Amino acid sequence: MKNSKYTDIKLPKDSLEQNTNTINLGPTHPATHGVFQNILKMDGERILEATSTVGYIHRAFEKIAERKALYQVTPLTDRLNYCSAPINNLGWHMTVEKLVGIEIPARVSYMRVIIMELARISDHLICNSITGVDSGAFTGFLYVMQYRELIYEIYEEICGARLTTNMGRIGGFERDFNDTVWKKLDKFLEEYPKVLDEFEELFNRNRIFIERTQGVGGISAERAMAYGFTGPNIRAAGVDYDVRVQKPYSRYEEFDFEIPIGTTGDVYDRFMVRNEEMKQSLSLIKQAIVKIKNLTGEEATKHHAVAPDFYLPEKQKVYTKMEEMIYHFKIIYGENDIPVGEVYHAVEGANGELGFYLISDGGRSAYRLHFRRPSFIYYQAYSELIKGSMLSDAIMTLSSLNLIAGELDA
């Protein structure tokens, strides 16, 4: 093995074994988590040392982004955290808007809040139900997947795609939300809270689940901050850091929501924090709908900012008129120069602070685009989190950290 300093791991004194056991928790995991590898040195069932290897799905996003014009980077950002793709898309558009200096009307911000909170719910649903599956409870996963289908239907109505949404434009949305979207949103808001309550009833006070998750994979607040944790993982450890509150974007400062925090940072706390965040997201969506209804006059009809250099013209005109087709072509290919500058914008992704560091030299595409990916930062701490625990606890810790392989290896 390459790292030879790991071969001198000694068995503890009270061990029943003769020598250490090496197990490969390999890249082909039981489906859903993604491809990362751990080589574990074990004393029977206890883990003594873990070495992680990543890069099994390295797709070179940062190098690809140097060759693509701005709109061509949006489909790339989709594939970062693919469980909540709209957050990545809207985060990227907000980065470009910050660089160029486009001001977003209020209605667009509220529509963005609705979409981002829906994406957050969709991501937390996967994470929590897979935590349940890993502890043996398959029912929660199947039940809750039905409600992700409702969210997918809403995305489909807005942008046409279910998973890799490529949603929105630089400056707003491509089309206004039509009546079907509002109806589907109302249906979701009506049906989903009961489902969430039933989901919690299955898990929160379930003795088996509590014994599997409490005290497992815990991390202290100081250690979490030293490792650069953000998002639900650090909130479960007790630090109330949320990018939506500290550096508000898309008018989050006008909304009223709470930040749930935990105490020990173990798997149970992360599960509860994510459930609570889903409830807060529902409340945010309701507030945004009310705010949109209360807008009057011209403000109540806008679905994009005025930015002819960056906002693609309407599709009906693109397909029928010559000038709009030319503008569409020019903007997609990056013929309009972007200002020289360097900007860092962070959004509160579903699993942490997703940062976009864009350096532009005034050409068609970014000179350097770096994604600050939360999953990459959490996975460093994984070997410390599972030291001394049993193999099944390691699996629970892995699924509760909400690591998405696409984001880890960008």
Partner 1 sequence: MIYNKRPVTHNTNIKLVESPGGYEGEGFGAMQLSKIVGLARKNSIWPLPFATSCCGIEFMATMGAHYDLARFGSERLAFTPRQCDVLMVMGTIAKKMAPVLKQVYIQMAEPRWVIAVGACASSGGIFDSYSVLQGIDEVIPVDVYVPGCAPRPEQILDGILRVQELVESESIRRRSSPEYQELLKSYGIQ
Partner 2 sequence: MLDNKFVFQKLHEKFGESIIGYEENYDIMAIYGAKDENLKILQYLYDDEELGFTFMTDLTAIHYPHNIGEELVVTYLLYNMRKNFHVRLKFALDIRKPDIFTASALHPTANWLERECYDFFGVNFVGHPNLIRIMNVDEMDYFPLRKEFPLEDQTRRDKDDDMFGRNSERFNMGKLNI
List of residues contacting partner 1 (CB under 8 A): 26-32, 34-35, 55-60, 63-64, 75-76, 78-79, 82-83, 126, 142, 145-146, 148-149, 152, 162-164, 405-406, 409
Q: Which two tokens stand for residue 15?
A: 């061990």
| Shortest Cβ 410–partner 1 spacing (Å) | 11
How many binding residues for partner 2 (CB under 8 A)? 48
Tokens 């960056």, residue? 310
Output b/e per residue, 322-355; b: 16+ Cβ within 10 A: eebeebbeebeebeeebeeeebebbbbbbbbbbb
Q: Is 248 exposed, middle or buried (0-12, 13-18, 19+ CB in 10 A)?
A: middle
Nearest distance, CB of residue 145 and partner 1, angstroms? 4
CB count, 10 Å around CB of 53? 14
Q: Does 27 bind partner 2 (CB under 8 A)?
A: no
Q: How far is the CB of 356 from partner 2 (least distance, A)?
A: 10
210 binds, among partner 2, partner 1, none (CB under 5 to 8 A by kind): none
Strand-pair partners of 52:
38
Query: Quick check: 205 binds partner 2 (CB under 8 A)?
Result: no
Burial of 33 (0-12, 13-18, 19+ CB in 10 A): middle
Residue 324 interacts with which of partner 2, partner 1, none, CB < 5 to 8 Å by class: none
- For residues 59 and 321, which CB has a smaller minimum distance to partner 1 in the complex? 59
Binding-site partner at residue 257 among partner 2, partner 1, none, CB < 5 to 8 Å by type: none
Least separation in angstroms between CB 151 and partner 1: 11
Looking at the Cβ atoms of 5 and 205, the one nearer to partner 2 is 5
d(Cα 381, Cα 346) in Å, to the nearest integer?
22
Tokens 């599960």 locate to: 271
Query: Residue 140: is it exposed, middle or buried by C-beta count within 10 angstroms (0-12/13-18/19+)?
Result: buried
Are the C-beta atoms of 375 and 52 separated by less than 8 Å?
Answer: no
A 10 A CB-CB count for 64 gives 15
Question: Which residues, 6 or more positions from 112, have their beta carbon under 8 angstroms from its beta carbon?
Answer: 90, 168, 250
Q: Which of 156, 364, 390, 392 binds partner 2 (CB under 8 A)?
A: 364
Q: Which is nearer to partner 1, 64 or 259 (by Cβ)?
A: 64
> For partner 1, which is the closer residue by CB, 20 or 52?
52
* CB 335 to partner 2: min, Å: 11
Task: Name which of 71 and 249 has its Cβ closer to partner 1.
Answer: 71
Are 360 and 373 in contact, with CB atoms under 8 Å apart? no
Q: Do residues 250 and 257 touch, judged by C-beta distance below 8 A?
A: no
Rule CB under 8 A: is residue 242 a binding residue for partner 2?
Answer: no
80-99 positions binding partner 2, by CB under 8 A: 98-99
Interface with partner 2 includes 380 (CB under 8 A)?
yes
* Residue window 342-361: x/- pattern of binding to partner 2, with contact defined by CB under 8 A: xxx-x------x-x-x-x-x
Q: Which does 3 bind (CB under 5 to 8 A by kind): partner 1, partner 2, none?
A: partner 2
Distance set, CA 77 to CA 23, 83, 211 (Å): 34, 12, 38
Angle (CA) 193-252-371 rounded to 5° is 100
Toward partner 2, which CB reaches closer, 313 or 341?
A: 341
Q: Binding residue for partner 2 (CB under 8 A) from 24, 146, 178, 246?
A: 246
Closest approach of partner 2 to the CB of residue 228, in Å:
3
Residues of this chain that interact with partner 2 (CB under 8 A) are: 2-3, 54-55, 58, 60, 62-64, 66-69, 98-99, 225-228, 239, 241, 246-247, 334, 341-344, 346, 353, 355, 357, 359, 361-365, 367-368, 370, 372, 376-377, 379-381, 409
